[in-house]
Structure 1
Amino acid sequence: MLFDASLRKELSRSFLGTVTVLLTVVVTLMLVRSLRMASRGAVGPSDIMLVMGYTVLGYLPIVLSLSMFVAIIGTLARMYRDSEMVVWFASGRGLSGFIAPLARFAMPIVLAIGGLSLVSWPWSQAQVLELRHQFQQRSDLDRIAPGEFQVSSSGDSVFFVDRDSSSLEHAQQIFFAQEKVDTSAVTTARQASLVQQQGQTWVTLDSGQRIEQLRGDAPALRVADFERYEVLLHKEPISTAETSVQTTPTLELLAQSSDPAAQAELAWRIGLILAAINYVLLALALTSGNPRSGRTGHLVTALLVFIVYFNLLSLGESWVARGAIAGGLWLVLLHGGIFLLAVAWLAMRNAQWSLRRLWPGRRAAA
């Protein structure tokens, strides 16, 4: 019991430290990604922190899995370096004795990964999609920013208001370009104001010029100077955000299990949980006392194994989405195969079997 408590205590310290480092890296990357989305006009600048938070929450199961994997490998590697494993093996215990304490340590993490992947992942993706949709569906009036060229929601108009304008209700130096199928027009004005009448918003332009080019069978160019020009702004109703399999709750995906896209998303979410379980056995089977590998050798191995496993998860999701393989069959082949491989590898190391000892030529030479 004392050994189990000390082992879990060391694993917890290593896990918390790894989570802190990885979360810092992920938050930084997601912040850069959110800023890039805001610069492209995909989300509003005021929603950057929300988008970053929801995105980090969605990727938290992957961070927890990698942190647990690295913590177990790092702790076991230290025990090999400090000869604690020698004492453990000399007492008549094998690697199988680590399964129980490692399982007790990993159980809360696996449960957290399950809750995050099955519940938090679709919710966070839905929130990000809703924020992006609300920003894209905002009115053209909300898009206007002093000193910046802004494109309308329909993509056929460009606005510009002078930077010295005090507010949008009383703007100065207006530029408005509109492109349609049969006409293109450029309107400039010295100042503009907004007028609310019977629930409608009118823009009144003063002291300006409008240049309109007509296309078609009889092309023409019209130039008109005006002292007062009124334009009615029609606000389109905001439609509901589109949904995808990533934003669909898990229970609804189970009801749509005949759809290959739903199967692929279910395989991804359930696969994160099964992968976390396999990481415990893989970490125990991979770690060994090899002095030539150095202090970072086991960490490099852990990262390589994690990357290969994660890429197989992504590859399988694309295969299931295309209908090349059933989602349930892919879960059994991938995670069941890795589970059997880890158990067999662990059994060989626990019994101190090796290919050299089993090779007939080696035994004859001995």
Structure 2
Amino acid sequence: MIFERSLQRELAYTAGAVFMVLLTIMLTTMMIRIVGFAAQGQVDPRDVLVLIGLTVIGYMAVMLIVTMFVSILFVLTRWYKDSEMVVWFASGVSLTRLIKPVATFATPILILILFFAFVGWPWSNAQSKLIRARFQQRDEVSLLAPGQFRESPATHRVFFIESMSSDQARVENVFVTTTENGKVSVIVSRTGHTETQKNGDRFVVLENGRRYDGEPGHPDFRISEFQRYGVKIQSQPVVATPTASSTSTPGLLRQPTAENLAEFAWRCGLPLIAINLMLLAIPLAYQNPRRGRTINLVMAVLIYLTYSNLLNVVQSQIEQGKLPFGVGLVALHIVVLALVAFLFWLRVRNRPLFTRAMFSRATQGS
């Protein structure tokens, strides 16, 4: 029908605009957050853009849910405001007839939500953890930067170099201090270079320098000079600790621990939330043309926040063993679906969801 095509076209245009707004907000927020991590030395500045992209992929399912819900609500609310819905109802189109065109519009979005919830979310989390672990567990040579004091995460060493060649093979004016068992060892040298032994061990070989060994607060320091002195480079294997959020969906089912089942219930909850909110937006969009539309929008925001927070509560209860997995998987969504059916019933009987008398009584009671 013409009205169905018109509705789907307007929903598509509105969804594109809403998604771009949400994406801009997400990119801005993540850029500020991840750049802050880079400034604190928690991530490599060269990985900032990659981490932002991975974060956006991880939260894409949530953004698509909000996009679909807000788009349906905005379009239908405008139709009520401009009396277009009155025309369609007068033509014999019932409220339930809106489900078909809305579902046709939402089907591609629901498929994307399924993909990003079950595939995109764990993959992006796993890649982000790997990048962070690789940066945190890098070897000591990669820490060196001309003119800066750098502390090794693997040992109690502090490095300082004045200059370094472009390939990090040679350094000049080196300062290394090591603290171990209450004793301090300070090494200074004019030049140095890196060497790799046949067994794979790597060393920074310092040349023409001095070593000072002693205990702070005591004058009996030992001073020795050397022509060559090797400092072994400590390195650690890159190991990203697996968590439920970074485990693939088949991996969660292969190891059905409480934490994994809770994560699986959360992932399943995202498409179920999307379906319920898609249906909920139809009766919730009812609008009296003589009144403002603020109430519906406020209620929509509150409903979404409440629904998503309840899903997080259910996940936490399953993880703690306080709620059976089967109950936590479907109970919340069945309750919301019953609420949607009740709202449809109210609208079919032409009863307003929110009346001025309700708010008047609430004001007098407070």
Give the TM-score taking structure 2 as reference length.
0.88
In structure 1, the residue matched to 2:361 is: none
Structure 2 partner of 1:228: 227
Deviation at 1:115? 1.1
One-letter code aligned to 2:342? A
How many angstroms apart in 2 are the aligned matches of 1:284 and 1:151? Answer: 59
Matched, 1:67 2:100: no
Q: Deviations over 1:254-277 (max 9, x none)?
A: 2323x1101110111000010000
Unaligned stretches of 5+ residues in structure 2:
356-366
In structure 1, the partner of 2:13 is 13
Look up the equivalent residue of 1:224 and give its one-letter code. I
Q: CA deviation at 1:290?
A: 3.5
CA distance in structure 1 between the partners assigned to 2:34 and 2:353 by the alignment: 51
Q: Secondary structure of the equivalent of 2:337? A: helix
For each residue in 1:75-118, what CA deviation from the matched residue of structure 2 results, as whole angstroms up to 9, or x when unmatched? Answer: 01110111001112222333212111111111111111011101
Query: How far is the alpha carbon of 1:292 from its aligned partner?
Result: 6.8
2:141 aligned partner: 141
The whole-number CA distance in structure 2 between the counterparts of 1:72 and 1:36 is 36
Q: Normalising by structure 1, what TM-score?
A: 0.88
> After alignment, is 81-90 or 175-184 more displaced?
175-184
The 1:294–1:110 alpha-carbon spacing in structure 2 relative to 1, beyond 3 Å, is same
**Alpha-carbon deviation of 1:344?**
1.0
Tell me how far 1:214 sits from its aligned partner. 4.2
2:55 matched residue in structure 1: 55
Q: Aligned Cα RMSD in Å?
A: 2.6
Is the contact made by 2:65 and 2:274 (CA closer than 8 Å) also made in structure 1? yes
Residue pair 1:204, 1:228 contacting (<8 A) in 2 also: no
Aligned CA distance change for structure 1 residues 177 and 299 (closer, same or farther; 3 Å)? farther
**Bigger Cα displacement from structure 2, 47-56 vs 184-193:** 184-193
Retained in 1: the 8 A contact 2:151–2:158?
A: yes
1:263–1:326 Cα contact (<8 Å) kept: no
> Which residue of structure 2 aligns with residue 249 of structure 1?
248
How has the CA–CA distance of structure 1 residues 155 and 34 changed in structure 2, closer, same or farther, with 3 Å as cutoff? farther
Deviation at 1:12, TM superposition (A): 0.4
Paired residue for 2:331? Answer: 333
Is 1:308 the counterpart of 2:306 in the alignment? yes
Q: Pick closer, same or farther for the CA change 1:355–1:101 going to 2, 3 Å.
A: closer
Aligned-pair distance for 1:145? 1.5
Alignment of 1:109-188 (within 5 A): 109-162=109-162, 164-167=163-166, 168-188=168-188
Q: Distance in 2 between matches of 1:93 and 1:171?
A: 80
Alignment of 1:285-304 (within 5 A): 285-291=283-289, 294=292, 296-304=294-302
Instruction: Quote the offset at 1:291 in angstroms.
Output: 4.9
Q: Which residue of 1 aligns with 2:107?
A: 107
Alignment-derived partner of residue 342 in structure 1: 340
The answer as to whether partners of 2:154 and 2:235 remain within 8 angstroms in 1 is no
Paired residue for 2:363?
Answer: none
Distance 2:115 2:52 in 1: 20
Identity %: 36
Aligned to 1:204: 205
Offset at residue 334 of structure 1 (A): 1.0
Structure 1, unaligned runs of 5 or more = 358-366
The number of residue pairs the alignment matches comes to 354
Q: Is the 8 A contact 1:74 1:298 kept in 2?
A: no
Instruction: Quickly say closer, same or farther: Cα 1:250–1:221, change in 2 above 3 A.
Output: farther
Corresponding residue number in structure 2 for 1:284: 282
Question: 1:170, CA displacement in angstroms?
Answer: 2.6
Contact 2:134 2:238 in 1 (8 A): no
Residue 299 of structure 1 aligns with an amino acid whose one-letter code is: L
Which letter maps to 1:332? Answer: V
| Residue type at the aligned position of 1:43 | V
CA distances 1:144-167 after superposition (whole Å, capped 9, x unpaired): 1122222213152222222x4444
Residue type at the aligned position of 1:147: G
| 1:112–1:322 Cα change, 3 Å | same
Counterpart CA distance in 1 for 2:158 and 2:321 is 44
Taking a change above 3 Å as real, the CA distance of residues 293 and 269 of structure 1, as seen in their structure-2 partners, is: farther
Q: Secondary structure at the match of 2:181?
A: coil
TM superposition shift of 1:356: 11
Change (3 A) 1:46 1:5: same
Flag the 1:327–1:36 CA change in 2: closer, same or farther, 3 A.
farther
